[in-house]
Amino acid sequence: MSELPEGALEGVRYAVFGCGNTDWARTYQAVPTAIDEHLARAGATRLVDRGAANARGDFFGDFDDWYSGFWGPVTTALGQDDEVPAPTPLLEVEFVGATRDPILRQNHLQLGAVVANRELVDMDASGARSKRHLEIALPDGMTYETGDYLAVLPLNPTLAVDRALSRFDLAYDAQTVIRISEGGHTFLPTDTPVTAGELLASYVELSLPATRKQLELLADATVCPPDKAALAALAGDPAAYTDEILTPRITVLDLLERYPACQLAFGTFLQMLTPLTPRQYSISSSPRWSTDHVTLTVSVLTAPALSGSGTYEGAASTYLARARPGTKVAVTVRPSNVAFHPPQSLATPVVMVCAGTGIAPFRGFLQDRALAAQEQGVTPAPALLFFGCDQPDVDFLYRDELDEWAEQGLVAVRPAFSVTPADGVTFVQDRLWADRAEVIDLVRAGAIFFVCGDGQRMAPAVYDTCTRIYIEATGATAERADAWMIEMQREHSRYVADVYA
């Protein structure tokens, strides 16, 4: 170009846009600048001033700025309509529903959206186990009461899905169409293309222990005689089945990996599994805070697998832990036990006992009480919260909020720290016993006693402690104390437990 004689490009019209990077400062835009000058010198007509984009800076922004002034001069010079072509091809996208719609309808689920998701535990501390606070915008028209549950249909963890794909030698995006013989029923999507990955992630439980019936089916599909015999023996011996399959929660997938000679078809595998079921979470907010948003307090289940191989990830808690703001989640509100709601009157005292994420509904109760007290301009009756966790600075969930409510006189918090026990208090039931005088006063004043959380260890221990407190306070026999506890639960709904084993 530098050698083109003057006038050689008469009639040529042009525009130059140069891409460069200021890291190469000496030569930045040198070539486009030279081309622009040579073209002009050779008589070509510059339609638009030279543009420049810097890859070190806002590269695409530089282009967009220049491009916005491009078509005006070009269409004028070329004598065309100044209709500016669309910057990108116009794609029309039609939404035709989701393949999971039937399973959602069946479970009365609709799509809500995650609004916020934050860690509540200091995960830098040794032994810390993640617990997360999620805010979810409910689907239109869905409402809730304090103490209700949110049911969530998860997607299976990638880890489990990938293992299953790999065992069947399938790619995630392998397209499948499931057809079913006439009169047959399945919860799987039929007569529509679905990827193998989607089937595994969205429709089936992958982590349940294999049943004895499933073991029989696996034995039938196994060609290698010793493996076949081993599977059949497990299926036929209840004690061995319990010890070797049920207790370590060995899944069909675990067995397929363990016995490669088992030639199970992918369709048979899917057919053997149970449908993915929604998990319930106590709502940890009050509709007085927001009628159409809920918060959840989720303990994230990640631990060395009981099977002894790899890591076990709980489906829903892992799914929720990883959900980002904006993620659509299939949810529905489910009512809790009628008695498991904050008392109608703020004049009723409450005692709440919980450990870990068992605090969820009680955060909702306290939020509700605080807002109701504000609305009514009254001071509520005393509320005692017994809360158990590992360490004060690690997993004391919602500590700041509780401190604030305590300062306002809305709650008195009685914590128990299992990693750093003090004065004989390790667990929440120990704290309950230590502070029994206060509890007795409140119960005599008509308090409702609520318990939430682990139903296997904590709830029975709390129940037992209450029985002991009654015996000590009244001198009653063990039988009378048992009868009183049952009466408090069944007749007066003043001992209300919402626990999960």
Ligand X SMILES: Cc1cc2nc3c(=O)[nH]c(=O)nc-3n(C[C@H](O)[C@H](O)[C@H](O)COP(=O)(O)OP(=O)(O)OC[C@H]3O[C@@H](n4cnc5c(N)ncnc54)[C@H](O)[C@@H]3O)c2cc1C
**Shorter beta-carbon distance to ligand NAP: residue 214 or 282:** 282
**Shorter beta-carbon distance to ligand NAP: residue 50 or 131:** 131
The minimum distance between CB 251 and ligand X, in angstroms, equals: 9
Number of other residues whose CB lies within 10 A of the CB of residue 472: 13
The minimum distance between CB 265 and ligand NAP, in angstroms, equals: 36
457 binds ligand NAP (CB under 6 A): yes
12 binds ligand X (CB under 6 A): no
454 binds ligand NAP (CB under 6 A): yes
Q: Using CB under 6 A, pick the residue from 280, 327, 391, 467 that binds ligand X.
A: 280
* Distant-in-sequence, close-in-space partners of 331: CB < 8 Å, separation ≥ 6: 109, 110, 111, 112, 136, 138, 139, 142, 150, 151, 152, 153
Residue 18 Cα distances to 44, 85, 327, angstroms: 18, 22, 40
Q: Within positions 235 to 254, which residues make up the interface with ligand X, using CB under 6 A?
A: 249
451 binds ligand NAP (CB under 6 A): no
Burial of 491 (0-12, 13-18, 19+ CB in 10 A): exposed
**Shorter beta-carbon distance to ligand NAP: residue 368 or 454:** 454
Sign, Cα dihedral of 474, 480, 481, 483: negative
- The amino acid present at 13, given as its one-letter code, is R
* Distant-in-sequence, close-in-space partners of 41: CB < 8 Å, separation ≥ 6: 4, 6
Q: Using CB under 6 A, pick the residue from 18, 287, 358, 364 that binds ligand NAP.
A: 358
> What would the x/- binding string for ligand NAP be over residues 249 to 288, using CB under 6 A?
---------------------------------x------
Q: Which listed option, ligand NAP, ligand X, none, makes contact with residue 222 (CB within 5 to 8 Å by class)?
A: none
State the virtual CA torsion across 432, 466, 429, 450 in degrees, nearest 10.
-80
Beta-strand pair 448-454/350-355:
parallel
Name residue 416's beta-bridge partners.
388
Q: Using CB under 6 A, pick the residue from 29, 286, 299, 429 that binds ligand X.
A: 299
Q: Within positions 296 to 355, which residues make up the interface with ligand NAP, using CB under 6 A?
A: 299, 355
Phi and psi at 233, nearest 5°, equal -65, -40
Instruction: Yes or no: say if 117 and 295 are a contact pair by the CB < 8 Å rule.
Output: no
149 binds ligand X (CB under 6 A): yes
DSSP-assigned letters across all residues of 423-468: TTB-SHHHHHHHTHHHHHHHHHTT-EEEEEEETTTHHHHHHHHHHH
> What would the x/- binding string for ligand NAP be over residues 90 to 129, using CB under 6 A?
---------------------------------------x
297 binds ligand X (CB under 6 A): yes
Q: Using CB under 6 A, pick the residue from 202, 207, 357, 367 that binds ligand NAP.
A: 357
Number of other residues whose CB lies within 10 A of the CB of residue 170: 17
340 binds ligand X (CB under 6 A): no
DSSP-assigned letters across all residues of 85-102: PPSS----------TTHH
- Quote the CA–CA distance of 355 and 362 in Å, as a whole number: 11
Q: Which listed option, ligand X, ligand NAP, none, makes contact with residue 60 (CB within 5 to 8 Å by class)?
A: none
# residues contacting ligand X (CB under 6 A): 24
306 binds ligand X (CB under 6 A): yes
Q: Within positions 186 to 225, which residues make up the interface with ligand X, using CB under 6 A?
A: 207
- CA-based nearest residue to 206, from 175, 245, 262, 250: 250
* Token digits of residue 96: 């035709």
CB-based closest residue to ligand X: 314
Q: Using CB under 6 A, pick the residue from 234, 264, 428, 448 that binds ligand NAP.
A: 428
Q: Using CB under 6 A, pick the residue from 112, 189, 314, 388 that binds ligand X.
A: 314
Instruction: Look at residue 395 and give its three-state secondary structure.
Output: coil
By the criterion CB under 6 A, which residues form the site for ligand NAP? 129, 131, 282, 299, 355-358, 360, 388-390, 418, 427-429, 452-454, 457-458, 461, 498-500
Chain contacts with ligand X (rule: CB under 6 A): 149, 154, 207, 249, 279-282, 297-299, 301, 303, 305-306, 312, 314-318, 357, 360, 500
